[in-house]
Structure 1
Amino acid sequence: MSRTSKPAAGEPAEGVVQWRRERRRELIAKRQGLSATERQRCQRRIEELIGTQFPGLAGALLGFYWPFRGEIGVHGLVRGLIGQGARAALPVVVEKKRPLEFWAWHPGAALARGIWDIPVPAERRPVQPSVLLVPLVGFDARGYRLGHGGGYYDRTLAAMAPRPFTIGVGHELARLPTIHPQPHDIPMDAIVTEAGVMRRPAGPPAAAADEEEPRGFASPPCFMHELDPAWLGLGEEDEPGP
């Protein structure tokens, strides 16, 4: 099945699972194949867009992530927001197939190796983020996210009350016509790539079974500033991440 094709009508859920598995493999390989220069360019542009287009983050309790398999790193942005008054937390898998916990993090905090060798805070101090920066493997025009296949973010968002504002973060090459969302999939409130910012319209998301034509990004003028976050990808390709 090609990238732009869709499972046949009436195809069982296993067909969607296989289609997503193939797309994941393709998209992860593409982003890992980017040059270091291109990675840094995308990272700086995305951090700039998040910083300028979401000004309320300086007062947020911000859940972010440690980059995994070539994901966009946002450490520099988060450090800057902490300097403006934000607080931050990293996701922790405390039990497989269960919702994530978010443990408080600050620059210089001791880290331990978590599941799939992703660094997590060494001290367990659970907090409830008001905003989440969520990594994307793929995404579509309605804000639905393709992750690593573990289902952790969907389970976590379904269990959180109040639900945090979610900002998906990924490369423009990860954009798909649709991810064929299932009933358990929860769309992002906004998605940011190096191409711009896409915001989901207010109100409940459309039914997951509906298909729509992709909508374009609205990209603001560029006000480039220099950040120097660490770029780090960890993990094995045959293990699903959050």
Structure 2
Amino acid sequence: MADDRDEQGPAQYASPPCFMHELDPEFRVPLTDWSDVRRWRKAERERLISARLAVTADARAAMSTRIAEGLDALVGDIGGRMVSLYWPFRGEPDLRSWMASINERGGRTALPVVIEKGQPLVFRAYRPGDRLEKGVWNIPIPAEGDPVLPDIVISPIVGIDPQNYRLGYGGGFFDRTLAAMPFRPLVIGVGYELQRIPTIYPQPHDIAMSEVVTEAFAS
């Protein structure tokens, strides 16, 4: 669910406003202004994506397998349930094999589709082998199909804080989508332990994940 709303914030400062962060790694300057939060999120997003991409492909594959095991333990019986996943992008956990296993076990799967900037996503049913086309950022999306409402939404994270607030790509698609749904699905953020951060400075529009699963399983 890549997006870019936070990218519209003011330019970054060339250096931090003080040096307390060099003395105490837990020190954080409280951010209360939205423009400051956007600027901080942009820098943190870039840092976390770079860290994720620095992990070897073999290590990411092993962690993805562990995440799939954690999802199975958390979700339980998948029969008859609709699960929205995602197509992996920029080092995100690759859960395509797990997606195939859902369909083999009597569940159904979907992928999110960006329809218009500033609007909620829609979900289209998808199972491996269905025709795909390129969507926004060239991420594959189902080429056809009516919208569906998933029971479970699996969302990749860029960062995650202890309250399960997700740092995403900045466009706000995910939060708008959850706010617009007629019921609240089980929302599971997936990512790596290296993406845990002390806070995302949550704002009123941010919606926390129901659960988070990393290679260390659920939290």
Please report the TM-score for the alignment, with normalisation by the length of structure 1. 0.78
Structure 1 partner of 2:107: 86
Asked whether the 8 Å contact 1:51–1:77 carries over to 2, the reply is no
AA in 2 matched with 1:14: S
Q: Post-superposition shift, 1:40?
A: 1.1
Q: SS state of the match for residue 134, structure 1?
A: strand
Cα distance in 1 between the residues matched to 2:110 and 2:174: 15
Q: Post-superposition shift, 1:41?
A: 1.2
| Higher share in helix | 2
Structure 2 partner of 1:172: 193
Residue 8 of structure 1: which of 7, 26, 30 is its match? 30
Cα distance in 2 between the residues matched to 1:65 and 1:156: 14
Structure 2 partner of 1:231: none
Cα distance in 2 between the residues matched to 1:91 and 1:30: 25
Please report the TM-score for the alignment, with normalisation by the length of structure 2. 0.86
Cα distance in 2 between the residues matched to 1:118 and 1:58: 28
1:139 has 2:160 as partner: yes
Cα distance in 1 between the residues matched to 2:175 and 2:68: 24
Residue 216 of structure 2: which of 179, 195, 212 is its match? 195
Q: Deviations over 1:2-42 (max 9, x none)?
A: 68554436x42100111111110000000001011211111
Structure 2 partner of 1:217: none
Q: Deviations over 1:77-109 (max 9, x none)?
A: 111011111111100001111000001101100
- 1:58-77 matches, within 5 Å, as 58-77=79-98
Cα distance in 2 between the residues matched to 1:33 and 1:61: 33
Q: SS state of the match for residue 58, structure 1?
A: coil
AA in 1 matched with 2:83: L
Q: Post-superposition shift, 1:196?
A: 2.2
Q: SS state of the match for residue 49, structure 1?
A: helix
AA in 2 matched with 1:146: L
Report the number of matched residues.
197
Change beyond 3 A, Cα 1:192–1:45 = same
- 1:163-242 matches, within 5 Å, as 163-198=184-219
Cα distance in 1 between the residues matched to 2:173 and 2:70: 26
Identify the range of structure 1 (125-134 vs 50-59) with the bigger mean alpha-carbon deviation. 50-59
AA in 1 matched with 2:99: V
1:18 has 2:27 as partner: no
Q: Post-superposition shift, 1:58?
A: 3.3
Asked whether the 8 Å contact 2:83–2:150 carries over to 1, the reply is yes
**Unmatched tracts of structure 2, length 5 or more:** 1-15
CA RMSD of aligned residues (A): 1.4
Cα distance in 2 between the residues matched to 1:159 and 1:56: 27
Q: Post-superposition shift, 1:180?
A: 0.9
Cα distance in 2 between the residues matched to 1:37 and 1:177: 28
Q: SS state of the match for residue 123, structure 2?
A: strand
- 1:105-120 matches, within 5 Å, as 105-120=126-141
AA in 1 matched with 2:66: R
Stretches (4+) displaced over 2 A: 1-9, 56-59
Cα distance in 1 between the residues matched to 2:150 and 2:27: 37
Percent identity between matched residues is 44
Residue 143 of structure 2: which of 112, 115, 122 is its match? 122
Structure 2 partner of 1:230: none
Q: SS state of the match for residue 18, structure 1?
A: helix
